[in-house]
């Protein structure tokens, strides 16, 4: 085993230790209070996990390593992991930005966890988009909304994407970093979720909000932007897989080893299909739907497997069912949801 492989194995092993020793024991309390302890963020920063995306870019970690880490963390605490995952998207985008000054100002602090970041790109995916970015003197004016943005009150900056209405039929996607502070044309509306309330998810509204030129990370065509979503969709599939993974362990601990083994076999198949979907958008849609369906079934099996305690509030079983419900729609697209409806009604 090479030194880089040993280093990657150590990072993965540490992720397991954090998920099982810190995140999972606190998950019910996080769910009940709707707040992630500050110590979770400090621990992830101290252990280098805020720079995960940069480590992958530097080939210090492989793709299979990041998938393993995201899965095990998701099975530890959904709220902590889902919020922290958004930070990786911002790190990845800033790492590849041609805005050298912006990169030098923020990237190292983001990698070290001194600056926490979120993302707001869902507003550009629909047609017509929900968030526009029109070129004006000094930068871009943002108008519209970003419907689901996680980490408000936790993150310092947001990597925001808007569609330029003056750049052709589909439009160019313009992205940049903004401060996660309301005012100046940026409004914030808290959202109540069935699970993952501690993700601090909000709806953002933009009214002629100026994103200065020096904060722009870059622009890309709508088609190129969509092609990159396959990678993000694969990683978002780790959330559902992580829920199933935890359900398997709970089922096994409850004395249902055969059922746990059957779920493990199905989970391996889902993972393989998710990997195959990286080069096939239609296959990715089906794989994401299958992952979410499996998480829901696995969580339901835990409730049935542990008996009457499974319907008691504040227990792992009922929380997993709600988190599996979260995975049915979080980071999804209409075609994935249509596939899920078909699967769940056939």
- Could you tell me how far CA 244 lies from the centroid of its own chain? 16
Provide Rg for the chain, Cα atoms.
20
Residue 168 banded pLDDT, cuts 50, 70, 90: low
Give dist(CA 159, CA 165) in Å, integer: 19
More confident residue, 88 or 170: 88
How far apart CA 106 and CA 154 sit, in angstroms, is: 17
pLDDT, tens digit, 9 for 90 and up, residues 274-302: 999 999 999 999 999 999 999 999 999 99
Instruction: For residues 336 and 298, give the distance between their C-alpha atoms in angstroms, rounded to a whole number.
Output: 19
For residue range 244-283, list pLDDT tens digits in order. Answer: 999 999 999 999 999 999 999 999 999 999 999 999 999 9
Task: Tell me the pLDDT band of 230, cut-offs 50, 70 and 90.
Answer: confident
Mean pLDDT confidence for 55-64: 83
CATH ID of 117-221, from 2.60.40.10, 3.40.50.2300, 2.40.110.10, 2.120.10.80:
2.40.110.10
Closest residue by Cα to residue 317 from 325, 327, 330, 306: 306
CA distances to 71, 120, 178, 298, 332 from 234, rounded to whole Å, are 11, 18, 26, 20, 11
The dihedral of CA 92, 97, 102, 108: what is its sign? positive
Predicted local distance difference test score (pLDDT) of residue 228: 83
pLDDT at 1 exceeding the cut of 70: no
- Residue 158's φ and ψ, nearest 5 degrees, are -125, 140
Helix residue spans in 47-132 (DSSP H): 52-57, 63-74, 78-95, 100-112
Question: Where do we find the tokens 């980490």?
Answer: 151
Give residue 167's pLDDT.
Answer: 74
pLDDT band at 169 (very low <50, low <70, confident <90, very high): low
Residue 325, pLDDT score: 97
Where exactly are the structural domains of the chain? 3-112, 117-221, 223-345
Judged by DSSP in three states, 177 sits in: strand
Q: Could you give the angle at which helices 222-253 and 63-74 cross, rounded to 10 degrees?
A: 50
Across 209-225, average pLDDT: 95
> How confident is residue 3, by pLDDT bands cut at 50, 70 and 90?
low
3-112 belongs to CATH 1.10.540.10: yes
Q: What is the mean pLDDT of residues 16-28?
A: 98
pLDDT band at 4 (very low <50, low <70, confident <90, very high): low
Beta strands 157-164; 117-120: pairing state? parallel
Q: Which CATH architecture has domain 223-345?
A: Up-down Bundle (1.20)
HEC string of 185-208 equals CEEEEECCCCCCHHHCCEEEEEEE
- Please report the sign of the dihedral spanned by the C-alpha atoms of residue 299, residue 305, residue 309, residue 315: negative
């Amino acid at each position: 085993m090479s030194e880089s492989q040993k280093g990657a194995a150590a990072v993965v092993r540490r992720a397991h230790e954090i998920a099982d020793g810190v995140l999972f024991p606190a998950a019910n309390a996080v769910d009940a209070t709707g707040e992630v302890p500050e110590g979770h963020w400090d621990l992830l920063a101290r252990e280098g996990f805020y720079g995960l995306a940069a480590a992958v870019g530097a080939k210090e970690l492989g793709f299979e390593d990041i998938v393993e880490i995201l899965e095990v963390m998701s099975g530890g605490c959904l709220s902590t992991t889902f919020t922290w995952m958004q930070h990786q998207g911002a790190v990845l985008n800033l790492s590849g930005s041609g805005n050298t000054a912006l990169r030098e100002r923020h990237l190292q602090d983001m990698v070290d966890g001194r600056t926490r970041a979120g993302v707001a790109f869902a507003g550009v995916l629909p047609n017509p988009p929900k968030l526009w970015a029109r070129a004006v003197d000094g930068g871009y004016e943002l108008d519209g909304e970003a419907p689901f943005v996680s980490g408000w009150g936790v993150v310092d900056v947001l990597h925001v994407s808007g569609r330029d209405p003056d750049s052709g039929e589909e439009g160019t996607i313009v992205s940049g970093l903004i401060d996660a502070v309301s005012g100046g044309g940026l409004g914030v509306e808290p959202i109540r979720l069935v699970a993952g309330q501690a993700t601090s998810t909000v709806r953002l509204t933009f009214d002629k909000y100026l994103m200065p030129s020096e904060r722009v990370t870059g622009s890309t065509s709508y088609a190129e932007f969509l092609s990159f979503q396959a990678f993000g969709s694969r990683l978002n599939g780790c959330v559902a897989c992580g829920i199933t993974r935890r359900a398997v362990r709970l089922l096994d601990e409850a004395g249902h080893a055969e059922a746990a083994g059957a779920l493990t076999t199905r989970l391996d198949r889902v993972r393989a299909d998710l990997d195959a979907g990286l080069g096939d958008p239609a296959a990715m849609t089906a794989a994401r739907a299958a992952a979410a369906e499996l998480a829901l079934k696995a969580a339901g099996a835990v409730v049935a497997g542990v008996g009457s305690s499974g319907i008691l509030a504040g227990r792992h079983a009922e929380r997993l069912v709600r988190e599996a419900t979260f995975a049915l729609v979080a980071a999804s697209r209409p075609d994935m949801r249509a596939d899920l409806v078909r699967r769940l009604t056939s």
